[in-house]
Amino acid sequence: MDIGSTGTRWCLSDIETQILAEGTSTELRGPWAEASQALQGIKALITSMGHAPLLALVIGITGSDSKHAAELAHALSAQFDLALDRIEIMSDIELACLAHFEPGEGYLIYAGTGSIAGFWDSSLSFHRCGGRGPLIDDAGGGHWIARQALQHIWRSEESKPGSLQTMPLARRLCEAMQAFDWPSQRAWINQADRGKFGELALAVASEVDEDSEAILRAAGQALARLANTMVDNFGQRPLGLAGGAFSL
């Protein structure tokens, strides 16, 4: 399972690693403050697959750390009668890097709701750049793109009243939120989770105009910084790109 901020992708294989089923779910999202929150969603998804008892489970979760991973592993072990050594829980970027490259082979730049670069070296140590969350960084990800766009339209409205009605980018964002003034947008923002807020990036990129192009170009530059930092620290290697923000 790859559990991100906007949903989950999963696949089920047999012991020979032949894929039996795969799919997505928008019901199961991370991150969670408590392992119990994660357990209920994961249990429901696995139960819905309707296959034979599990032999092993590998999960990548956005925002996962060692403490939460250990708590969740013990809960899943009891729930599905799996030995702890048959359960592997890591961050979503760690899982994505292993899916793209052998250890020591290459760097992965991931840009979904947030942004991060990751690298497993040949000694199986994991290195990262970025991924500090929306309050500090995550530059180039969907949340950052949405934040930059909203900042831009409201600064434009402040300097030139009426811009909210005439600027194409502003109209697209207002329509996406179904909120056409500041009080209604503030209410929307306050109730939106990180993933839902980041989905506003789709409205930014749905049309190419001067404003959206500038924001997306800045996002690309921010993601390139992650790659360049990895190269500076660990040398030239193949580079992989993953995450929904790259489709923008």
Angle of CA points 123, 128, 133, to nearest 5°: 150
Conformational region of residue 130, where left means phi above 0, alpha means psi within -120 to 50, and beta covers everything else:
left
Are 141 and 149 in contact by the 8 Å Cβ rule? The answer is: no
The model's pLDDT over 120-141, given as tens digits with 9 standing for 90+, comes to 999 999 999 998 888 898 999 9
Residue type, 154: W
The model's pLDDT over 200-236, given as tens digits with 9 standing for 90+, comes to 999 999 999 999 999 999 999 999 999 999 999 999 9
Q: For residue 116, which phi and psi values (nearest 5 degrees)?
A: -165, 155
- Divide the 248 residues of the chain into consecutive groups of 10 and give the mean pLDDT of each group: 86 90 83 72 83 86 78 88 92 91 96 94 95 90 97 96 94 96 96 92 95 97 97 97 91
Write down the residue that tokens 């790109």 correspond to: 241
Residue 34 has a pLDDT of 65
pTM: 0.82
